[in-house]
Structure 1
Amino acid sequence: METLRQYRENLQKIYGKNDYWMVPIFRSLFSMTFLFFLSRYLQMTGKLGNPMVILSLGLLSFFLPFSFVPCLSGIFLLYYFYTQSILLLGVGALFFVFIFIIQSSVRGKYAILIAAMPLCFFFRIPYFLPLLMGLTMGLSAVISLDLGILVYYFLRYIREYKDKFSTGGDLVEQLDAFSGNLAPFIKNKELFLVLLLFTLAALAIFVIRNFSFNYSFETALAIGLCLESTAFILYPAVGMKMNLTGELLSFLLSAVLSIVALFFWHDADYRGTEFVQFEDDAYYYHVKAVPKKKA
């Protein structure tokens, strides 16, 4: 364990000295990865499926903030919708305007979660991001997390029903077909169950980790994992099918990743806890000081 802490401290020192170029590189790699999986997930062809186009858009992200990545992805998707049909473009535009309006009400730095959540689904570790959000981010990040979940299930809906938006038919016929096939998205029980469980897990972790008792972060993570694990009970209870082996592996991998994240962000030595009191002209201060574990 001491060796791992030494590696962690070395990594933190490297990041502290080189974050001015490491962060833009990570942003570019994240953007390219997300756009690549989008193109493969929706089976895009032509220019949108060209690796050089994805590479160029990813490099563009190098010079722009993290909040730009979801905007770039939205433009990318809208162009794809345009190549499919005007109806699909209109539906996609309305959906993304809704996402933009909701996201604009919270801090912009959390907008990256709108892209990160679908990417976690693509990597089959969706349980991880709510845990990470609860451990490391602010309360308003829950909204961006939920928007990311909505985006993923919207993309899944488009992938399954994009033939209903075919350019071959009349617009009126497409509208009729669309209205008749909108129910699978609006009444998607899995969508609402995932929204509920992931939101509860993220909120529970955020609230509990802000208490001052010892091992609050560890307790918060354990409770968050317990809340997410109820999916294995609730899925069959509401009549939904589940690939038990795949979901269990996904859950366990997410748990391991969240423990690693906890090790990097909050590795406290509660045995060395001290209580300090001091005052100034206006206040008395009672401070609980918990040292970090060092290698």
Structure 2
Amino acid sequence: MAQLVYLKENIKYFYQKHSEYAEPALKLLFSLVMLCLVQSMFQYNETVNRPWLFLIVSAAQAFLPLSFCFYSAACLILLNLWQVSVEIFAVFLLFFVICYLLFVRVDGRHAFIIILTPILFYLKMEYFLPVLLGMTAGFSGILPMAAGILIYFFSLYTKDASALLTTTENLDPGIGMSRIASLMVIDRKLLVILVTFCLVVFVSAILYQMFHEKAWMFAIIIGNISLAVLLLFGRLIFELDYTIWRVFLEIVLAMGVATVVQFFKGIGDFSRIEKVTFEDDEYIYFVKAVPKIKAAQEERNVTDIVAPEEEQAETEETDTEQKTGDGMNEF
């Protein structure tokens, strides 16, 4: 355990030391991957499907706040949807405006959650999400996550609507959006995913915030077990097409990832709990402080051994006499 703590502290120290270069590089990489995956979900406008264009936008976003990824992704989606239908473009534009007013404007982290959620769904890694959100974002991550889930399922519905619009002649106005709305109403998988993920985030956040030594462990184990049970119930009730082995494999991996995240966030040392009470004019505060487990860096003391001044003077006189004697011998 001590070696792991030393490793964590060294990694954090290395990152903090090189954060001036590491943060822009990570932002550039995330933005580039994000734009490429978003374009893969909405492949309707080949004009904007240019890797060099994505690289330029990512390079600019490397020096901007992470919330700007939301704006670039929204613009890319809207440029693609313009080629499908004007009404679909208008509905998505309204959806992004609502997300901005409710989430992004309030907290920049919400923008990251909205974009990360459909990406994880597209990569088939969605079961990593709810417990991690409960541990990191808490209750505030529920609605941005739901918005991200809607974006992913809308991308699936838009493919169907786009195929309908390109193969049918003499279409009525608004038929594309009507097709998306009808698919959303009859899709039981969307309902199960939304309810399950929101409940798991809620449960994980409650367990994680408990004042208990193993609260983080309860949140990881109970949250992921709840996720598996709710997904299985949804599969049995609505006869959905979940792959059972993939659900269990991802949940086991999600437990490991959540444990690593908690390890880097810090695990409390409950043997050194401190309780403090103080007050002001209106309230009395009772504080329970649990220090994090940290490994102290080894201090290396370098001692310079210097001879005393008298000994140093005698040594210099001896060297001078020896050099003089050697000179006389040579003469």
TM-score by length of structure 2 reads 0.79
Indicate whether 1:111 and 2:111 are aligned. yes
Indicate whether 1:175 and 2:174 are aligned. yes
Distance 2:90 2:46 in 1: 22
Q: Kindly tell me: are residues 33 and 281 of structure 1, through their superposed partners in 2, closer, same or farther at Cα, counting changes over 3 Å?
A: closer
Counterpart secondary structure, 2:98: helix
Report the structure number with the largest CA radius of gyration: 2
The residue that corresponds to 2:258 in the other structure is 258
The residue that corresponds to 1:121 in the other structure is 121
Distance 1:89 1:278 in 2: 56
Distance 2:41 2:143 in 1: 24
1:35-74 alignment runs, 5 A limit: 35-44=35-44, 46-74=46-74
Q: 1:288 corresponds to which letter in structure 2?
A: K
Distance 1:2 1:189 in 2: 48
Instruction: Quote the offset at 1:174 in angstroms.
Output: 5.2
Q: Kindly tell me: are residues 92 and 168 of structure 1, through their superposed partners in 2, closer, same or farther at Cα, counting changes over 3 Å?
A: farther
The residue that corresponds to 2:7 in the other structure is 7
The residue that corresponds to 1:237 in the other structure is 237
The residue that corresponds to 1:192 in the other structure is 191
Does the 8 Å CA contact 2:116/2:148 hold for their aligned counterparts?
yes
The residue that corresponds to 2:82 in the other structure is 82
Distance 2:243 2:258 in 1: 22
Indicate whether 1:157 and 2:163 are aligned. no
Instruction: Quote the offset at 1:76 in angstroms.
Output: 0.5
Instruction: Quote the offset at 1:136 in angstroms.
Output: 1.6
Does the 8 Å CA contact 1:275/1:286 hold for their aligned counterparts?
no
Instruction: Quote the offset at 1:161 in angstroms.
Output: 2.9
Stretches of structure 1 lacking an aligned partner (at least 5 in a row): none
Q: Kindly tell me: are residues 141 and 166 of structure 1, through their superposed partners in 2, closer, same or farther at Cα, counting changes over 3 Å?
A: same
Instruction: Quote the offset at 1:286 in angstroms.
Output: 4.0
Indicate whether 1:248 and 2:231 are aligned. no
Superposed CA deviations along residues 71-98 of structure 1, whole A, max 9, x for unmatched, are: 1101001111113333432333233333
Distance 2:217 2:224 in 1: 11
Distance 1:113 1:157 in 2: 21
Does the 8 Å CA contact 1:136/1:265 hold for their aligned counterparts?
no
Distance 2:256 2:37 in 1: 24
Stretches of structure 2 lacking an aligned partner (at least 5 in a row): 296-331
Instruction: Quote the offset at 1:162 in angstroms.
Output: 1.8
Indicate whether 1:22 and 2:9 are aligned. no
The residue that corresponds to 2:313 in the other structure is none
Instruction: Quote the offset at 1:105 in angstroms.
Output: 6.8
Distance 2:99 2:275 in 1: 46
Instruction: Quote the offset at 1:167 in angstroms.
Output: 9.3
Calculate the aligned-residue CA RMSD, in Å.
Answer: 2.5
Instruction: Quote the offset at 1:177 in angstroms.
Output: 5.2
The residue that corresponds to 1:216 in the other structure is 215
Indicate whether 1:227 and 2:211 are aligned. no
Distance 2:119 2:273 in 1: 42
Instruction: Quote the offset at 1:69 in angstroms.
Output: 0.8
If asked which structure has higher relative contact order (CA below 8 Å, sep 6+), I would say: 1
Does the 8 Å CA contact 1:125/1:253 hold for their aligned counterparts?
no
Q: Kindly tell me: are residues 152 and 116 of structure 1, through their superposed partners in 2, closer, same or farther at Cα, counting changes over 3 Å?
A: same
Q: Kindly tell me: are residues 130 and 106 of structure 1, through their superposed partners in 2, closer, same or farther at Cα, counting changes over 3 Å?
A: farther
Q: 2:18 corresponds to which letter in structure 1?
A: N
Distance 1:234 1:198 in 2: 12
Instruction: Quote the offset at 1:278 in angstroms.
Output: 4.6
Q: Kindly tell me: are residues 254 and 285 of structure 1, through their superposed partners in 2, closer, same or farther at Cα, counting changes over 3 Å?
A: same
Does the 8 Å CA contact 1:164/1:178 hold for their aligned counterparts?
no
Distance 1:219 1:290 in 2: 18
Does the 8 Å CA contact 1:217/1:266 hold for their aligned counterparts?
no
